[in-house]
Amino acid sequence: MDLEFNKNEDVNKQLVYQFNTKLQKIFLGGGEKAAAKQKEKGKMLARERIAYLIDDDKPWLEVGAFVADGMYAEHGGCPSGGVVCGIGYISGRQCVVVANDATVKAGAWFPITAKKNLRAQEIAMENRLPIIYLVDSAGVYLPLQDEIFPDKEHFGRIFRNNAQMSSLGIIQIAAIMGSCVAGGAYLPIMSDEAMIVEGTGSVFLAGSYLVKSAIGEDVDNETLGGATTQCEISGVTDYKHHNDKACLDSIKNIMSKVGDYNKAGFDRVKPSAPKLNEKDIYGILPDNREKAYDMREIILRLLDDSDLEEYKAGYGQSIICGLGRIDGWAVGIVANQRKVVKSKKGEMQFGGVIYSDSADKATRFIMNCNQKKIPLVFLQDVTGFMVGSRSEHGGIIKDGAKMVNAVANSVVPKFTIVVGNSYGAGNYAMCGKAYDPRLIYAWPSAKIAVMGGAQAAKVLVQMQSAGLKAKGEEVDEAKEAELLKQTTDRYNAQTTPYYAAARLWVDGIIDPLETRKVISLGIEAANHAPIEKAFNVGVIQT
């Protein structure tokens, strides 16, 4: 182990430690006082409900844990968007689970809450996974109602998805374990089956105060829409349970009787661990995003037996493509190379930049994986496409467009891990969020932006300086340096993986050592949804 390896290891382990520390704080939800109030009512907390419901001998993958991180400070914050989502197993069956966290503003829906719920439904729909809703919500957060109510990707889209999933045969089970009011009442009742907990669960279009205001009727919430009313009088709900655990046991029992599913048929053999030590990743990944390293060394520590069947190894070397296995599943790897290499033409190529030959190679490899029905894994550490007259004369835009076309039209499931930089059009070509990866996660070392902080800050400062000078203000070197620092700090804060995860640009942040688990769970989920569409790239310029 050399000094550089040890330095990298220290930096990356510290990033993982900071990530875990931040995560533990988020897991507290609305805090101890709010949790105590839930307990006084005899209710389990959202994460306790999930832990009790899912199989404890199988993995759990949380989606959106860092959602709303640093957002809504003027409203007291909204940890995890007030809802816990993820992929787990119930009675041996892989499912999506969505649980409102009533310790966060009584489970009220912020704009980002709707976005997170829609993401959970999207995962269920893409992969044909059963979805379980553990409902405990006061409905829309009224101070922000204009940002959540009427638009296409707002609250109402949830119920549209309920209906579409039902038509697709995707199992939906809802448990009303607390409040369920107004428009939110449609979610459990549009599910296949709805159950309710006595004494704590209630579901109605309008609560007692609104009923009094609207029509002058005096009625309490339990009579209006409690468990007895909705199970024995209205017939709105299907099962009544005396406490949370009994309700969750009922879900387990139902799921234990669900039949098998038609599989997509992705190839899997007995899993093997990588031969090379996975923990070496901490020492291989540089301590900053500008340094070069050999991405191949990362790949070999993610693949079963550290075995990579590399495609066109000597051509287009700023992208590595190849076949391998992760936890037994066959995968096609597309990864940015960050090492400095020398081509046969004698030119130096600095990794992280996509050149014409690399884009051409990746396009052909992606097409081959679609032909063979092999899921794709993208490892992003990309600074963008190569610029300059030489690249333009060589048709970089055309070659980049071919790669983007192949990624956009792929019918095999795609999974994206943001290892380092994810800048500009490189984000798109390497299957960023806009290109429908089934799952997209970032390492704590990730940076996501239109361009690097230093370059962007210089451009922005030039624009600011020009604007100030146009107004007749003096801009000396000291003023320009101050502007540069302010702009750089602000821009860098917006490129962190936490900023991206807060806004669901990525599904979450993971320790690099969890990468194999994420991809394996994702492919197993994708195997629930047979590929029905033929691969076709349409018209591309050759």
pLDDT tens track for 249-305: 999 999 999 999 999 999 999 999 999 999 999 999 999 888 999 999 999 999 999
Q: How far is CA 491 from the centre of its chain?
A: 22
Give residue 261's pLDDT. Answer: 92
**390 or 532: whose pLDDT is higher?**
532
Domains of the chain: 1-28+263-446+506-535 (3.90.226.10), 31-256 (3.90.226.10), 453-495 (no CATH)
The answer, yes or no, to whether residue 196 has pLDDT greater than 90, is: yes
Q: Can you tell me the distance from the alpha carbon of 226 to that of 204, in angstroms, rounded to the nearest whole number? A: 9
Give residue 464's pLDDT. Answer: 73
DSSP letter for each residue of 448-483: EESS-HHHHHHHHHHHHHHHHHHTT----HHHHHHH
pLDDT (tens digit per residue) in 512-533:
999 999 999 999 999 999 999 9
The answer, yes or no, to whether residue 394 has pLDDT greater than 70, is: no
Give residue 455's pLDDT. Answer: 66
Structure tokens at 527: 């195997």
Label residue 256 exposed, middle or buried (CB < 10 Å: 0-12, 13-18, 19+). exposed
pLDDT (tens digit per residue) in 317-369:
999 999 999 999 999 999 999 887 665 655 555 568 899 999 999 999 999 99
Give residue 423's pLDDT. Answer: 92
Which helix (H) or strand (E) segment holds residue 437: the answer is none
Q: Can you tell me the distance from the alpha carbon of 346 to that of 344, in angstroms, rounded to the nearest whole number? A: 5
Mean predicted lDDT score pLDDT of the chain: 91
Are the beta carbons of 261 and 528 closer than 8 angstroms? yes
Q: pLDDT grade, residue 454 (50/70/90)? A: low
Classify each residue of 68-92 as buried b or exposed e, where b means 16 or more C-beta atoms within 10 Å of its C-beta: bbebbeeeebbbbbbbbbbbbbbbe
- What is the value of pTM for the model shown? 0.93
The answer, yes or no, to whether residue 406 has pLDDT greater than 60, is: yes
The answer, yes or no, to whether residue 12 has pLDDT greater than 90, is: yes
**Mean per-residue pLDDT, 198-206:** 90
Q: What is the DSSP letter of 294?
A: -
Looking at the chain, the whole-number percentage of residues with pLDDT higher than 90 is: 72
pLDDT (tens digit per residue) in 141-192:
989 988 988 888 888 899 999 999 999 999 999 999 998 987 678 899 999 9
Give residue 208's pLDDT. Answer: 77
pLDDT (tens digit per residue) in 50-71:
999 999 999 999 999 999 999 9
